[in-house]
Amino acid sequence: MDVAVFSDIHGNHAALQACFDYCVGKGITNYVCLGDYISDCPFPQKTMQLVHVLKQYFNTRFIRGNREEYMLSYRKNGATGWMNGSASGALLYTYENLTDDDFNLFHKMPIYGIFEEPGIAKFEYCHGSPTASNEVLIRDKRNTKRVLANLKTDYLVHGHYHVQESYYYRNKRSINPGSVGLPWMHDGKTQFCILHGDGKTWEEENIQLDYDRYSILDEFESSGLLERAPAWSAVTMHTIRTGVDLNETIQLIAMRLCEKETGTCVWPDIPEKYWAEALKMNGIDLTGRPIKELVDKPDRAPAT
């Protein structure tokens, strides 16, 4: 049996479509989706359309990620607190573009599951960890060893940390398929894995694909997301272009600059000037491109 595993799409429908097309071409009908379907990229409704297709026409198991939990909590608490701007504008934009069907699907998703089919080995799957969608599992870390030691099966497939890797501990194995939508490393190629099962064991095949990044990059402006969350969008675009994640770095610098000048900084009330300065300090412009290369490297190849 072959099972395709998609994680951390983050609204990048162009990358998801490329991964899905690849799997359909291989005749794969079994999927496990590990959460963080939305937020950060434009037109989340396009991603959710593909998610609903997977749900309706394929044997797909879904897990809720921390981004879906953000959306559910925001709705439950009266949909207040987020605002336009780089701190929470992308979250607000995403929330406003989701439907009741999307929220109903998120609500039904568990944060942990066990893949069980007759005649084959079982494996566990989650977004962060079996007990918390926002827990980060990294090889050799103490919490990762603890989680693996307590598995019910021999395998755990998880996401959240956007690095494609596997790790063994006490004959237990964790498999991270990487991120579909905001992949780290591999020059930003979209990433997922295919699990090949022989009945007794599972072996992962890591996939990295080129895809039409320009289509999703163009949508940051046409969707209005770039205007609503300028620096956050720039960092996201930078990750899509390069596979280098500076999300946390830029946010921490912006908050420190704000606190230094004003004496306090309370998320999400972080003025845009501090975000812009944090970008500049890291050599990134408001389209996510390296400032020093703006003249030397055009955004795309000339038309032929």
pLDDT at 291: 84
How confident is the prediction for the chain on average, in pLDDT?
Answer: 95
Domain 2-209: CATH class, spelled out: alpha beta
| Mean pLDDT for the stretch of residues 268-288 | 94
Q: Is the pLDDT assigned to residue 204 strictly greater than 60?
A: yes
Q: Is the pLDDT assigned to residue 189 strictly greater than 90?
A: yes
Which tens digit of pLDDT belongs to each residue from 28-87?
999 999 999 999 999 999 999 999 999 999 999 999 999 999 999 999 999 999 999 999
For residue 293, name the pLDDT band (cuts at 50, 70, 90).
low
Name residues whose C-beta falls within 8 Å of residue 41's C-beta, 6 or more positions apart in sequence: 10, 11, 12, 13, 47, 181, 182, 216, 219, 220, 225, 236, 240
Packing angle between helix 89-96 and helix 66-76, nearest 10 degrees?
A: 70
Q: What is the percentage of the chain residues whose pLDDT exceeds 90?
A: 94
Contact 230, 86 (CB under 8 A): yes
pLDDT at 79: 98
Instruction: Give me 225's structure tokens.
Output: 């997301």
Domain range list for the chain: 2-209, 229-293
Which tens digit of pLDDT belongs to each residue from 109-151?
999 999 999 999 999 999 999 999 999 999 999 999 999 999 9
Q: Is the pLDDT assigned to residue 297 strictly greater than 60?
A: no
pLDDT at 301: 41
| Mean pLDDT for the stretch of residues 214-218 | 96
